[in-house]
Amino acid sequence: MGRPCAQGFGLNLVLLRGENTPIGMCGLVKREGLEFPDLGYALLPEFCGKGYASEAAKKVLKYEMSKHTLHTILAITFPDNLRSNLLLENIGFCMKGTVELYGLQNNLYEFQT
């Protein structure tokens, strides 16, 4: 697991199983301006589109929601980031609208248990 932030969670290193090759990061962060923690992930380009982000995101949701007794997790992504929008929907997030963060419009998703 990665180094935790003040809320007890943060971004984790994503490794290829069996090889321990670092390929990206995935975890929960608590951004100012969002009511609940949000899921964040990023992979190196050569590992995108292979299901690794989806697998990592599902594991983070299961582990962190249980550990911290969370019932709602948010996620944001740019409207034109079609892969991330689809990934979030495929793992159970529902689009709630849009939100402006850091001067940019983002799609806002919500996951609830």
Contact residues for 81 (Cβ-Cβ < 8 A; gap 6+): none
pLDDT band at residue 7 using 50, 70 and 90 as cut-offs:
low
List of domains in the chain: 11-112 (3.40.630.30)
CB 23 within 8 A of CB 13: no
What pLDDT, in 10s, does the model give residues 9-47? 899 999 998 888 999 999 999 998 899 999 999 999 999
Instruction: Round to the nearest angstrom and report the end-to-end CA distance of the chain.
Output: 23
Q: How is the chain split among helix, strand and coil, in percent rounded to 5?
A: 25, 40, 35
pTM of the model: 0.89
How many Cβ atoms sit within 10 Å of the Cβ of residue 75?
27
User: What does the pLDDT average to over 93-99?
Assistant: 97
How many Cβ atoms sit within 10 Å of the Cβ of residue 65?
18
Scored b (16 or more CB within 10 A) or e, 10-35 reads: bbbebeeeeeeeebbbbbbebeeeee
Structure confidence at residue 3 (pLDDT): 46
